[in-house]
A and B are shown apart, each in its own frame.
Chain A
Amino acid sequence: MRTGARYALSGLTVAVFAIVFVVPFVFIALNALKNRTEAADLAFSWPTQIQFVQNLIDVIQARDFMVIIAFINSAVLTVASVTLLVILSAMVAFVLQRRPSRLNPLINFAVLAGLMIPPAVVPTIWVLQSVGLFQTMPGLILVEIAFGMSFSIMLFRAFVGTVPRELDEAAITDGAGPLRLFFQIIFPLLKPVIVTVVVVQSVMIFNDFTNPLYFTPSVPTVQLTLYNFQSQFVSEYNLLFMNILLITIPPLLVFLFFNRQLVAGMTSGAVKG
């Protein structure tokens, strides 16, 4: 591309992106800084008086520190679900990819079904209730694992295929059992995809609204605080936007930290285009 055209196109792209993608976030940030009356105008304007600290304190103190409790719940949910999800999915993908067996077509079908078929919500509640896990954190963790497993297995299996079998053979010759082979040899080699799965699933589970709404409405996660806020403070947009800002920080940090590896993991065979 010629230099002039290149700069013109770049300038145009930046301008369009700024309007379409940046303005909504600036809007959130601006309104999170305002006082209640100003925020109620929903205007795209600089606050006459910046109320950052006060709004932050108000959001945290609202409903007996509900946001703090919700953050703890969401952290437990995300860490536990993603950890188990990564280990279990990698194990399934490893055996599925390495060992031809009569089970394979069945498992492949189940994985594909899990990607496509919408979960039947009320019957799931019925199952959870009958084992005493409805309205509990372990129940919600199991739900997130079950619903996230198909996607993770897909990503892992494609990548296990790129790990040479010679490594397995060498390990077996050295007398490694299945657990040592998997956890000491294979699992560390899956790191690029592990990063992809961790980033994608943790953002998805942390941001999940539907499953907590159905399965643990009385155990608040951060997304549910947003919902409660909206009905409780009908006109307190400043607090609402401060809350949005707060709960966006963890996914943003995860992304900033893993940005490079995420794209690398996707190109290296996971979501291979």
Chain B
Amino acid sequence: MVTQAPDQSAAVGRGRGAAQRKGTSPRAGSGHAHARGAQWKKVYPLWFYIVPGVIYLAIFIVPTFASFFFSLTRWTLSSWEFIGFDNFVSFFQEPSLSRGLVNTIIYAFLTSGAKVVIGLLLAVLLTTNLVGKTFLRSVVFFPVLVSTVGVGITFKALMNPEDGLINQVLGWFGVSGPGWLTSPDLALFSIIIVDIWKGLGIATLIYIAGIVSIPAEYYEAAKVDGAGAWSRFRHLILPLSRPATATVIILSLIGGLRSFELIWSMTGGGPGYTSDVLASVIYKQYQAGFFGLSTAGNVVLFVLVAVIAIPLNYFLTRRQVEI
């Protein structure tokens, strides 16, 4: 989704002639002339952009640029004092702040990786002729619909060290379960597991859409060649669901980098600050009235996304066009 649009618009944008020569347009053969010149410009008016443009500019672009400035200030919303890079210095020197950066990276990569692997496997499973697969598809998607805070509260109860269902079940097998959310070493990973549980439905749905759109002839050809289930997966499904993989990686990585609600409702960043991520640090500093420091956290998050997600998106998009 992130990836296919640009080449399509390029084909259409340069008009039929170019598309025909490149042979990329599905309508290339129909060949009759465009409505030309000034007339068709009038029916695709640029003023369609004005209202959304103003909203986007005011609520998204201006604050983004303003954040670079305000991150260098001590700020009360009504007045500011320029202090240079002090906010960033304290951000990287205080463990309670910089731990959030490390946790954010761990969080984003683990959730994204797990969603790719498990999502693909579930999608393959749910596109075979299982009994009750429509029901199973709905079940795996269901957590997507529930509010993240609701999920967080529920799993906080399920992961309760003494009364929680998870440790009770473990107790039946003679295992004394850990304090999932109360142990400093474990809290972040417990939240990561819940995030995967909640977001898996979207990844699976995207993969199902990808697998279903593989033409049936390919499967028939593979069958004729005597390909088994494994080689169908390895040589057909895996390469052809690459666009789906790109979408899942990008969506879940960006979602993971910004994740806030689940962490806030499960541990509030605790115990101590061991499960804090950038988004929760930003909120805590905002709450404490350190607006400049909070905005500096936003800039760090911005840089993190710029360094990780944007090159990755570019790379995944390019690979896809080659195929």
Partner-B contacts on A (CB < 8 A)? 1, 6-7, 9-10, 13-14, 17, 20-25, 27-28, 31, 41-44, 88-89, 91-92, 94-101, 103-104, 107-108, 110, 112, 114-129, 131, 142-143, 145-147, 149, 154-155, 157-158, 161, 164-166, 168-169, 171-173, 176-178, 181-182, 203, 207, 209-210, 213-214, 222-223, 226-227, 230, 237, 240-241, 244, 247-248, 251-252, 255, 259, 263, 266-267, 270-273
Contacts and interface: CB of A to CB of B under 8 A. Distances in A.
B149 A149 contact: no
B124 to A, nearest CB: 12
B230 interface: no
Contact of B55 (A24, A142, A173): A142
Contacts of B254: 115-116
- The majority secondary structure among interface residues of chain B is helix
Closest 3 CB pairs of A and B: A273-B210, A273-B244, A120-B67
A122 B1 contact: no
Given A14-B132, A143-B59, A271 B146 contact: no
B165 A27 contact: yes
Nearest to B245: A273
A202 to B, nearest CB: 11
Contact of B302 (A112, A117, A241, A244): A117
Contacts of B179: none
27 contacts: A10-B130, A27-B158, A41-B163, A43-B168, A89-B52, A92-B49, A95-B44, A99-B46, A110-B56, A115-B2, A120-B66, A121-B294, A122-B286, A123-B295, A126-B70, A126-B77, A147-B60, A161-B9, A172-B35, A182-B48, A203-B144, A203-B145, A209-B261, A226-B153, A267-B209, A272-B213, A273-B212
B190 interface: no
Contacts of B139: 17, 21-22
A209 B280 CA distance: 13
A23 B40 CA distance: 57
Contacts of B294: 121-122
Contact of A271 (B160, B241, B247, B298): B247
Interface string B169-209: 00000000000000000000000000001000000011111
Interface string B43-73: 1111011011001101111111011001000
Contact of B52 (A91, A122, A182): A91
A13 B130 contact: yes
Size range of the chain B interface in the assembly:
35 or more
Given A92-B48, A227-B149, 6 more contacts: A88-B51, A92-B52, A110-B61, A178-B45, A244-B150, A244-B153
Interface of B: 1-2, 4-6, 8-9, 12-14, 27, 30, 34-35, 39-46, 48-49, 51-52, 55-56, 58-64, 66-67, 70, 75, 77, 125, 128-132, 136, 138-151, 153-155, 157-158, 160, 163-165, 168, 197, 205-213, 241, 243-244, 247, 254, 257-258, 260-261, 264-265, 279, 282-283, 286, 291, 294-295, 298-299, 301-302, 305-306, 309-310, 313
B163 A95 contact: no
B56 A146 contact: yes
B46 A28 contact: no
A118 B148 contact: no
Nearest to B295: A122
